Chain A
Amino acid sequence: MQVKIVSKNFDIPLSHTLDVARANGRYQTLETLFSKSPDAIISEVEKSGLRGKGGGGALTGEKWRLIPSPSDKPTYLVVNADESEPGTFKDRQILEFDPHLLIEGIICSSYAIGAHHAYIYMRGEYVFWAKRVQEAIDEAYEAGILGTHVLGHDYALHVTLHRGGGAYICGEKTALLESLEGKRGHPRLKPKGKEPEWFFGCPTVVNNVETISSVPFIVREGFEAYRAYGTPESPGTMLFGISGHVEKPGVYELPYGTPMTKVIDELCGGILNGGKLKAVIPGGSSVHILRADEIENITLDYESVKAHGSSLGTGGMIVMDESVSIPHVMKNLFEFYHHESCGQCTPCREGTGWVDAILGKILDGKGTKKDLETILDVCDMLNGKTICVFAPSVAFIAQSYLKKFKEEFEALLK
């Protein structure tokens, strides 16, 4: 079931050190890379159908094409290592076990978009992982893999690791860039048409750690080799993280299209202590919850999960057994969203708090039918005009909890 493209070296002892990484294939892509033009590299990635692994699933090649070429300003690559979506813990496996794969991916991607400086924005809590990656960057500089001439080629690249300060919203790409510029992590207004991101007014690409780490394989083996895995619309593989009530939680690299029940029952050893499955949140906490009866025919690709009423998101699956109270789950998540709203938009800042408070009242046994209606009204408000998609996605998930587990909420009313 598992396919190891990105996770190939994870189990090798000392895989994070340069010598071991090199002995196991790292940086061998660079000869192929520099024998081709940046444009040819972008084409290869376009044809591979590589989709962003940070939650949105956007086509990576399409995004790279938005960078003007030639550009009269410097261009930048920013790697999103903020990994804060509840249920998501996959990027840290790459940071821990194969930081040189990430650096190799950064070299390929930066070359393609004409960037000479890349930043890795890592969540502040990842202290151990920041050290790991910084050590790998230092080793790479020392070996001439980074710097003024990447492995002796006429191409300069610098990589700088930047630590966040603890704020979920900084995973959103424009908030991340604001933060990288030294400001509060406030998402920016969306532009009307398609454009690149902007770092100090310069065209910039923001990609997730895993997306960037998937690039060397495509450059080396070609787009067809990547497309040999997965489905036509979701080609390749993804690191799926499974947590909650399963016997063997963890991160597994799987081709898109793998049946969800097979992953839970076989790879993860089934439900914890022989329990019974109640629900799954398939792609990080911000996607619709699915009841046990809804997952039977789901395969892990963007299209199938969407057709079943949720999203693949970050591939972080949270599994819950029958002992779980869904109103408690929803309360837990609304505490999170209330805490993490960046506060720029009034509906989001206040609305998340109201829902949290109402859920508290319901759990205390003091809720009424009117309160459930109020939650839905607040959701309508969250769904209005806010700067980023945080508020509308919170509204959508609230509606899904109330709709799918209505009886559980009603049973708590006075």
Chain B
Amino acid sequence: MSAFALSPENAAKFQALLERYPEKSSLMLPSLWMVQYQEGWISPEAMQFLAKKLECSAMDVYSVASFYTMFNLKPVGKVHIQLCKTLSCMLRGSGAMQAHIENRLGIKPGQTTNDGKFTFSLVECLGSCGTAPCMSYNDDYVENLTIETLDTLIDKELSCK
């Protein structure tokens, strides 16, 4: 019934990780990460699959996955822009960055553009306060963020077919 399965590579990784923890349940976050990298998000089918693997209920998997902000419980755009809104970034102009992103993409925090290219989120301190303002652009941090950098990144993505 469940249409989801870990890729052979991830299945092997899962097996190897079993040896590194005293109990299987510790594989919860590592497995959620594997699923998210594989699929871009964590579907109900994937949660059922993980529940079997980890010998717990799908509700347990959901309960954990929904606790952590980084796990996407619905699909996100090809590029996920996550702008830090916390104090040090606010002091160094994250507000202007937010306005520019909203303006360029025509979306508000939490939304995805119609073409599915961008999802925009506001997040809390990224641990990059000395190089504020900061955002993450998929897996990469962009520090000392400026309007020009934003334009370059957005234009580059928009020009991709």
Distance in angstroms between the alpha carbons of A320 and B128 in the assembled complex: 17
B67–A318 touching, CB < 8 Å: no
Residue ID in chain A nearest B132 by CB atoms: A243
| Residues in A neighbouring B39, C-beta threshold 8 A | none
Q: Are B88 and A86 in contact (CB under 8 A)?
A: yes
Q: Could you mark each residue 123-150 of chain B with 1 if its beta carbon is under 8 Å from any beta carbon of chain A, else 0?
A: 1111111111000100111000000000
B68 adjacent to A127 (CB under 8 Å): no
**Which stretch in B2-10, B15-23, B100-108, B152-160 binds the other chain?**
B15-23
> Does A83 make an interface contact (CB < 8 A)?
yes
CB-CB under 8 A from B114, the residues of chain A are none
Q: Report A16 CB to chain B, min CB distance, Å.
A: 17
Residue interface mask A244-280, B partner, CB < 8 A = 1: 1100011100000000000000000000000000000
Does A124 interact with chain B (Cβ within 8 Å)?
Answer: yes
Whether the Cβ atoms of A249 and B139 lie closer than 8 Å is no
A185 to B67, CA, bound (A): 8
A335–B32 Cα distance when bound, in Å, is: 27
A358-374 CB mask vs B (1 if < 8 Å, else 0) is 00000000000000000
Q: How far is the CB of A96 from chain B (nearest CB, A)?
A: 11
Asked if B32 contacts A318 (CB within 8 A), the reply is no
The smallest beta-carbon distance between A194 and chain B, in angstroms, is 24
Say whether A167 contacts B69, CB under 8 Å.
yes
In the bound complex, CA of A126 to CA of B139 (Å): 8
Say yes or no: is A346 at the interface (Cβ < 8 Å to chain B).
no
Complex Cα spacing A369 to B30, Å:
50
| Contact A244 B29, CB 8 Å, known A158-B20, A340-B124 | no
Task: Report the nearest A residue to B69, measured CB to CB.
Answer: A166
Query: What does DSSP make chain A's interface, helix, strand, loop or mixed?
Result: mixed
Whether A26 sits at the interface, judged by CB under 8 Å, is no
Residues of B within 8 A of A25 (CB): none
Report B20-35 residues with CB < 8 Å from chain A CB: 20-23, 25-30, 32-33
Interface centre among A123, A125, A167, A318 (most CB of B within 10 A): A125
Interface size for A (C-beta < 8 A) is: 58
- Choice from A74, A85, A249 contacting B131 with Cβ under 8 Å: A249
Binary interface profile of A, 146-170, with partner B (CB < 8 Å = 1, else 0)?
A: 0000000000001010111111100
Q: How far is the CB of B88 from chain A (nearest CB, A)?
A: 4
Bound complex: CA A340 to CA B70 (Å)? 13
Name which residue of chain B comes closest to A250, CB basis: B130
> Residue on A with the closest CB to B126?
A125
B43 contacts A by Cβ under 8 Å: no
The listed residue (A83, A185, A285, A336) touching B127 by CB distance below 8 A is A83
Q: Is A324 interfacial (CB-CB < 8 Å)?
A: yes
Contact of A182 among B26, B90, B128, B139 (CB under 8 A): B26
C-alpha spacing A84/B26, complex, angstroms: 21
B79 to chain A minimum Cβ distance, whole angstroms, is 15
A22 at the interface (CB under 8 A from B): no
A308 to B140, CA, bound (A): 39
Is A184 positioned at the interface, with any CB of B under 8 Å from its CB?
A: yes
A215: interface (CB < 8 Å)? no
Contact residues of B between 64 and 95, Cβ < 8 Å to A: 64-65, 67-71, 85-88, 90-92
Evaluate contact between A89 and B92: CB separation under 8 angstroms.
Answer: no
Closest A residue to B54 by CB, please name it.
A182
| Contact A74 B22, beta carbon cutoff 8 Å | yes
CB contacts (< 8 Å) of A320 on chain B: these are 91
CA distance A89 to B128 in the complex (A): 6
Q: How distant is the Cα of A267 from the Cα of B123 in the complex, in angstroms?
A: 30
Chain A residue at minimum C-beta to C-beta distance from B90: A332
In the complex, chain A residues whose CB is within 8 Å of the CB of B92: 243-244
Given contacts A162-B30, A165-B70, A244-B91, contact A84 B25 (CB under 8 A): no
CB <8 Å contact, A318 and B127: no
Q: Is A105 an interface residue (CB 8 A)?
A: no
A167 & B68 in contact (Cβ 8 Å cutoff):
yes
Contact flag A160-B21 (CB < 8 Å), given A166-B68, A243-B130, A244-B88: yes
Please give, as numbers and ranges, the residues of chain B lying within 8 Å of A244 by CB-CB distance: 87-88, 91-92, 129
Query: What are 27 A-to-B residue pairs whose CB atoms are below 8 Å?
Result: A84-B125, A85-B125, A86-B88, A86-B129, A88-B129, A89-B127, A125-B70, A125-B126, A126-B127, A127-B140, A158-B20, A162-B30, A163-B29, A163-B33, A165-B33, A165-B65, A166-B69, A166-B71, A179-B29, A184-B63, A199-B22, A241-B129, A249-B131, A281-B87, A285-B86, A329-B87, A336-B124
Top-7 shortest CB links A-B: A165-B68, A182-B28, A166-B70, A182-B25, A243-B129, A166-B69, A243-B88
In addition to A84-B127, A165-B69, A332-B85, 10 A-B residue pairs with Cβ atoms within 8 Å of each other are: A87-B88, A125-B70, A127-B139, A160-B20, A165-B68, A181-B26, A241-B130, A243-B132, A249-B131, A285-B125
A residues at B contact (CB < 8 Å)? 74, 83-89, 91-92, 117, 123-128, 158, 160, 162-168, 179-185, 199-200, 202, 241-245, 249-251, 281, 285, 316, 318, 320, 324, 328-329, 332-333, 335-336, 339-340
